[in-house]
Amino acid sequence: MYPTKHDYTLLTTHSNMSDPRIQKFNTEADKIISHLHSEFAKLQTGRANAALVEDAMVDAYGQTQPLKAVAGITIEDARSIVVQPWDRSVIGNIEKALTLLDLGTTPVNDGVVLRLNLPPMTEERREQMKKLVGKIAEEARISIRQQRQEVHDDVKGESDEDVKYTLIEELDKATKAANDKVEESMKKKEEEVMTV
């Protein structure tokens, strides 16, 4: 039995995922995964990382802005972060913003730079972090599910049953791929958190 002209059309139009609805899902899923990675980067794993502090909101020049906009951030060693304000007049406000971050340490202000010495992670803190990693991953999964539902509802209105079936299949594949990425990132982060 040879494929009909109709089969070829189906194969060419949908096997390459050219449908804008599937593309929209993939774009949104990528954004969700990107957000997940940035949330994971902010988690303290006992190792110094600029992402832990760069988004701390600082009151400077009559407005609130992220720390990375008013200071240079350097990693001195595995447990030390050095924050150097570009203008010393805001050092007090930066200190206040860093204190609010709850990193388990107080910034040391020498009038020129602020030093953060991260405490070693306790077993209890690691367990809390692992739970938080799971919670953040679950939020990502929920967002992916919502995106899938939106596109699925849109596809259900498709009059051609074959096209509808193919699109739903593509959508399910794309959803599985996105969830696999979330799972992989979560496992990696959990490992990082639990590694002493």
- Among 71, 101, 117, the domain-final residue is 117
- Among 72, 99, 117, the domain-final residue is 117
Number of domains present in the structure of the chain: 2
Enclosing domain of residue 15: 5-41+123-194
178-182 long-range contacts, CB within 8 A, separation 24+ = 178/26, 178/29, 178/32, 178/33, 178/144, 179/141, 179/144, 181/33, 182/33, 182/36, 182/137, 182/140, 182/141, 182/144
Q: What is the pTM of this model?
A: 0.70
| Whether residues 105 and 161 fall in one domain | no
| Whether residues 132 and 112 fall in one domain | no
| Whether residues 130 and 154 fall in one domain | yes
Going residue by residue through the chain, which has 196 residues, state the pLDDT in tens, using 9 for 90 and above.
444 444 434 444 444 447 999 999 999 999 999 999 988 887 877 678 888 898 889 999 899 999 999 999 999 888 899 999 999 999 999 999 999 887 778 899 999 999 999 888 788 888 888 999 999 999 999 999 999 999 999 999 889 999 999 999 999 999 999 999 999 999 999 998 887 6
SS3 14: helix
